[in-house]
Chains A and B, each alone.
Chain A
């Protein structure tokens, strides 16, 4: 890149041009992504709220958090939510393998599987809220097949509510991950598979020995994304149960929201946000270290 003589932007050096390009984006990121992180740090050590004067309270918010039954329950629920992560990978890889074939009508199926992803969470929540009610279609189907003896109100029974929400999250997300895996599958060299077929490998062997190893970077990427999404889950819980019954579906994001926008305890809410951030950071680092061997670089 020896040719420095350009017209127009030639008044600026390469470095200056770079910063000019990045200025609007970085400014917005600074204001709405970095500033909240920076500002929530001092905020977490105050009792800042709508009422009363703000004062420095030291570690009080953190002490309160660790003895706050609801907060601890919310962390537990958020961690429990991570159970869906492996299921997402297995089912969406299966779906991706299914739709990766050149057969008639395959585009229709790809589209059909992706439509839940496109739809708003509010719409999805309304539909599943009805389907899962005690007189809903789900109970009717399960009972007519004989899988269920009596009606369950899936979303307002405290034993099933969290599992029902997880199921909805899983259902809505499958198409998204399927597309990423499909992209991965289409990058698998076909001659590789042809050669294996000639050598007499079965379909199952091909999937296990060729396709899955080549998909590894995609599995890593999808695991990371879906894990973070699971810990942060908010919309479906907020619309369908807002944490109830009791605190059985209270996830950490919902609790942080409630403390901030329903109790108006901004200081405490910030402290909770920091604690959850550290938990997520821990899991992300864990996954990164776990996958270092593959030397994978998503994006």
Chain B
């Protein structure tokens, strides 16, 4: 009896691992192949049957594309855009969400309804009007112009509101007893308590800013492009030089994957706190 149970458990575990690995190949396979292509100098990836594994490893593509593209400049542009985008959107979204979660005031429900309605109406046509707005503000070809329209998203405000609502009211009361201003209560008592939500919003914003390419193409000139925009430009210019594009793609993807790897432990916790049925 004991033995058959144990055997059953081993078989089911084996089955689980097989499924896990199949999914892992499905999700990661394309990336592994991309890395493989980036390490094959002078190979035509469209030769049939296609080259899947490199016969020898060579970093020539990386050196060449790095020199040709001036990647440091694009990485720097992306870093500025991402830094502005993440810090300011964390600040403004958290500030907006706080009274909506904690305070009781007239118009609170109205504002909340207004915010919900924007989730239903899509921003499909907003692109044109936002371009006109940014243009009339004189912000074309500035990083401010790239960042400004995406700083406050209703989604982030909701995430923060949900997190603030989970904090016991005693905390705010005790802060008041000690004579702290509302701003200090927000910054020094409340914000540290919603770290998981900050991590999630921070990571989402990091991803959105790091990867954005369409709006930057509309607003910026080529030399101010962030990585993703530059990459789509490279892809259009050198569609025949696969090794270069593959290497460029790997370079553009690596930083965000590293950031994700270092922040993911906060991430799970944050999502669990954010989505509440």
- Say yes or no for B268: interface residue by CB 8 A criterion: yes
Residues of the B chain whose Cβ atoms lie less than 8 Å from the Cβ of A17: 99, 103, 182
Residues of the B chain whose Cβ atoms lie less than 8 Å from the Cβ of A114: 260, 264
Q: Mark A36-49, 1 if CB is under 8 A from B, else 0.
A: 11011001000000
Cα distance A15–B107 in the bound complex, in angstroms: 9
Cα distance A36–B130 in the bound complex, in angstroms: 7
Cα distance A283–B154 in the bound complex, in angstroms: 19
- Chain A interface bracket (under 10, 10 to 19, 20 to 34, 35 or more): 35 or more
**Which of B40-48, B61-69, B79-87 forms contacts with chain A?**
B40-48
Q: Which of A170-187 contact B (CB under 8 A)?
A: 171, 174-175, 179-180, 182-184, 186-187
Find the B residue at minimum CB distance from A107.
B264
- Say yes or no for B231: interface residue by CB 8 A criterion: yes
B277 near A217 with CB under 8 A, answer yes
B253 near A123 with CB under 8 A, answer yes
Cα distance A256–B106 in the bound complex, in angstroms: 39
Query: How many Å from the CB of A35 to the closest CB on chain B?
Result: 7
- Say yes or no for B149: interface residue by CB 8 A criterion: yes
Q: Which of B163-212 contact A (CB under 8 A)?
A: 169, 173, 176-177, 179-184, 186, 207, 210-211
Residues of the B chain whose Cβ atoms lie less than 8 Å from the Cβ of A36: 123, 125-126, 128-130, 133
- Say yes or no for B52: interface residue by CB 8 A criterion: yes
Find the B residue at minimum CB distance from A4.
B176
- Contact of A21 with B186 at beta-carbon distance under 8 Å, contacts A119-B256, A120-B253 already known: yes
Cα distance A24–B114 in the bound complex, in angstroms: 16
A183 near B275 with CB under 8 A, answer yes
B99 near A22 with CB under 8 A, answer yes
- Contact of A256 with B125 at beta-carbon distance under 8 Å, contacts A111-B261, A122-B232 already known: yes
Residues of the A chain whose Cβ atoms lie less than 8 Å from the Cβ of B183: 8-9
A25 near B95 with CB under 8 A, answer yes
- Say yes or no for A118: interface residue by CB 8 A criterion: yes
Cα distance A31–B119 in the bound complex, in angstroms: 16
Which among A40, A179, A216, A269 is the interface contact of B277 at CB below 8 angstroms?
A216
Which among B182, B207, B232 is the interface contact of A9 at CB below 8 angstroms?
B182
Q: Which of A121-147 contact B (CB under 8 A)?
A: 121-124, 126-128, 130-131, 133, 135-137, 140
A183 near B272 with CB under 8 A, answer yes
- Say yes or no for A80: interface residue by CB 8 A criterion: no
Cα distance A131–B96 in the bound complex, in angstroms: 44
Cα distance A221–B276 in the bound complex, in angstroms: 10
Residues of the B chain whose Cβ atoms lie less than 8 Å from the Cβ of A274: 125
Residues of the A chain whose Cβ atoms lie less than 8 Å from the Cβ of B264: 110-111, 114
| Interface residues of chain A: helix, strand, loop or mixed (majority) | helix
B128 near A33 with CB under 8 A, answer no
Query: How many Å from the CB of B164 to the closest CB on chain A?
Result: 11
- Say yes or no for A204: interface residue by CB 8 A criterion: no
- Say yes or no for B57: interface residue by CB 8 A criterion: no
- Say yes or no for B138: interface residue by CB 8 A criterion: no
Query: How many Å from the CB of B19 to the closest CB on chain A?
Result: 6
A18 near B105 with CB under 8 A, answer yes
A122 near B235 with CB under 8 A, answer yes
Q: Mark B150-171, 1 if CB is under 8 A from A, else 0.
A: 1110100111011000000100
- Chain B interface bracket (under 10, 10 to 19, 20 to 34, 35 or more): 35 or more
Query: How many Å from the CB of B124 to the closest CB on chain A?
Result: 5
- Say yes or no for A81: interface residue by CB 8 A criterion: no
Cα distance A235–B217 in the bound complex, in angstroms: 13
Q: Mark A85-124, 1 if CB is under 8 A from B, else 0.
A: 0000000000100110101001001111111111111111
Find the B residue at minimum CB distance from A283.
B120
Listed A/B pairs (6) with beta-carbon separation below 8 Å? A22-B99, A98-B19, A113-B24, A115-B28, A273-B122, A280-B120
Name A's B-contacting residues (CB within 8 A).
Answer: 1, 3, 6-10, 14-15, 17-19, 21-22, 24-26, 28-29, 31-37, 39-40, 43, 95, 98-99, 101, 103, 106, 109-124, 126-128, 130-131, 133, 135-137, 140, 151, 171, 174-175, 179-180, 182-184, 186-187, 216-218, 221, 228, 231-232, 234-235, 238-239, 252-253, 256-257, 260-261, 266, 269-270, 272-274, 276-277, 280-281, 284-285, 296-299
Q: Which 4 pairs from chain A and chain B are nearest by CB? A: A273-B125, A8-B181, A217-B277, A25-B96
Given A119-B253, A269-B125, 19 extra CB contacts under 8 A? A6-B179, A6-B181, A9-B182, A15-B105, A21-B98, A25-B96, A109-B24, A110-B264, A113-B23, A122-B228, A122-B229, A123-B231, A123-B249, A128-B30, A140-B50, A180-B271, A238-B214, A269-B128, A297-B276
Name B's A-contacting residues (CB within 8 A).
Answer: 13, 16-17, 19-20, 23-24, 26-28, 30-31, 33-34, 37, 45-50, 52, 92-93, 95-96, 98-100, 103-106, 108, 111, 114-115, 118-133, 148-152, 154, 157-159, 161-162, 169, 173, 176-177, 179-184, 186, 207, 210-211, 213-214, 218, 227-229, 231-232, 235, 242, 245, 249, 252-253, 256-257, 260-261, 264, 267-268, 271-272, 274-277
